[in-house]
Structure 1
């Protein structure tokens, strides 16, 4: 059954008018007609079974019938990444949503190859991933920030949260053992760009008491692969996969 993210309040009997793009998708692409059912969610009130009462390609209207899943809490996992180019950037956003990130934060580093980001595109990718994967809490997309500013304001903004960073130069000890020592802590993950962090950045990161470097194994991973691998090992060791 199709799932769509909407900004409308959802409750029994609520009438929801979709925007032009979503209306075209349901009426023209999926050929949904009056009486057909879809699932809507807004990140606040769970998932709702809704029935089409109008199938105009310009403005589909639905009525909320019943809640079929309660709202899930927003994940506390913070994920920061150095933006990549085009399709690989889309991939990173989608996989971060699937892997349970609650905040997705673009971080500009010395070797970051992307100078300008379109926040609307990042948000659209996050919403699409949530629609496809039955995620009810769409992650917050942060405004881009420099690594220097992120680290300089970390304790002020994040308190006691630990910042795990994927360090290709870290000792090749098991990341499972390192992460197990963070059990019960609030966690952030930082993954660098293609080419990794500069020596200066690594030295800065390793000198901070809230930063925890981890190795992701004996092979050099692409940045997008490293992101998925690191999120998976965190969720499996101390996250919501346990």
Structure 2
């Protein structure tokens, strides 16, 4: 007797949706996600799609109708509750588009709770298309079977970020001039935290001084090598997750 196929199938496509999901809910998918389901994945009535809402978790849904421009899904079963996310922010100097795309994608994979793009004097880029950036984080989460998305903020200037810094959140400053070894500092910390990394040209001396003078800031070193902005952000996130996060 043949084995009963697993449900939902591992090959089922995954999508994040804006609606808060519940069993029995009918969800209409439009635009690019509908094109992906109907034309790329070629779903048909009765097929399974995995939905996530960044609120309740991950749900199995069945295709009830495939139209010319939309796909309708019937939410069937909660598979996993939304994952717990370590309370870590990444405050990263804005980089050129392709390099910051990498930061957005990999910071989502690594589990940052918030991504805060930052503008400094040496930033080459000064704008971020938030809609496009959000799409990058969503796609990364879908591909990695995550049930939570990072909060994505609009870029802010460094001085504004420091002036509005919340009490009780440690600010680990990845300073190319040196500091406490990052792994050691992260392992000794408990509670809300953030990692601050710079742009292509690094921080200038006035910016470095203002960061170090901030009461929440702790300068840390990522080792003896000078790292590019995207490498510093992702290396610091990986070390934090390994020592104080959820790895």
Offset at 1:164? Answer: 0.4
Unaligned ranges ≥5, structure 1: none
Offset at 1:74? Answer: 4.4
* Structure 1: 4+ residue segments shifted above 3 A: none
User: Out of 16, 26, 39, which is 2:27 matched to?
Assistant: 16
| 1:1-26 deviation digits (Å, cap 9, x = unpaired) | 21100012211111110012111111
Q: Secondary structure at the match of 2:178?
A: coil
2:225 is aligned to 219
The answer to whether residue 140 in structure 2 is matched with residue 132 in structure 1 is no
Question: RMSD of aligned C-alpha atoms?
Answer: 1.3
1:161 is aligned to 169
In the aligned structure 2, how far is the partner of 1:141 from the partner of 1:222?
22
The answer to whether residue 43 in structure 2 is matched with residue 27 in structure 1 is no
1:90 is aligned to 101
| 1:115-149 deviation digits (Å, cap 9, x = unpaired) | 22111111111111111111211111112111011
Aligned length: 236
In the aligned structure 1, how far is the partner of 2:79 from the partner of 2:188?
38
1:177 is aligned to 184
Offset at 1:207? Answer: 1.7
The 1:225/1:57 distance shift into structure 2, 3 A limit, reads farther
Is the Cα–Cα contact under 8 Å of residues 163 and 187 in structure 1 kept in the other structure? Answer: yes
TM-score scaled by length of structure 2: 0.92
Offset at 1:88? Answer: 1.2
The answer to whether residue 87 in structure 2 is matched with residue 80 in structure 1 is no
TM-score scaled by length of structure 1: 0.93
Unaligned ranges ≥5, structure 2: 1-11
